[in-house]
Amino acid sequence: MSGSMKPKLIYHIQITITKHGTPCAMLVPIEKEPKMSVQEAIEGIKALRKRLNLNLSQREIKKMIEKGRDRKLLAAAKLSGWTATNPERRPSRYLGFP
């Protein structure tokens, strides 16, 4: 294949990665333009929030965010093998922190 053909081909092919014959990941070309603008995304989120009738206060939203962070940290602690008696195995490294 010629060198000039490779860059063009890379924008048109999809590669499916399998594990024991079962698809587990797909490599696809990046879209040149987003499917929707930032403003359209914001309007979509607002419409979903209205449709779900979520009238949450800022305090409730913050509490939900913190609860989600706690769960993520707990899951990372389990992955790392961290226990109170083994504090060297920091769960933060599984979250991408040093």
CB contact at 8 A, 79 and 91: yes
How many structural domains are present in the chain? 1
User: Residue 9: is its pLDDT beyond 70?
Assistant: yes
Nearest to 73 by CA among 95, 58, 56, 88: 95
Q: Render pLDDT for 40-94 as a digit per residue (tens, 0 to 9).
A: 999 998 888 888 887 778 888 888 888 877 777 777 777 766 665 665 655 555 5
State which H helix or E strand residue 68 sits in: helix 58-80
pLDDT range class, residue 6, cuts 50, 70, 90: low
- SS3 call for 72: helix
What mean pLDDT do residues 18-34 have?
86
86/56 Cα distance (integer angstroms): 39
The parent domain of residue 19 ranges over 5-95
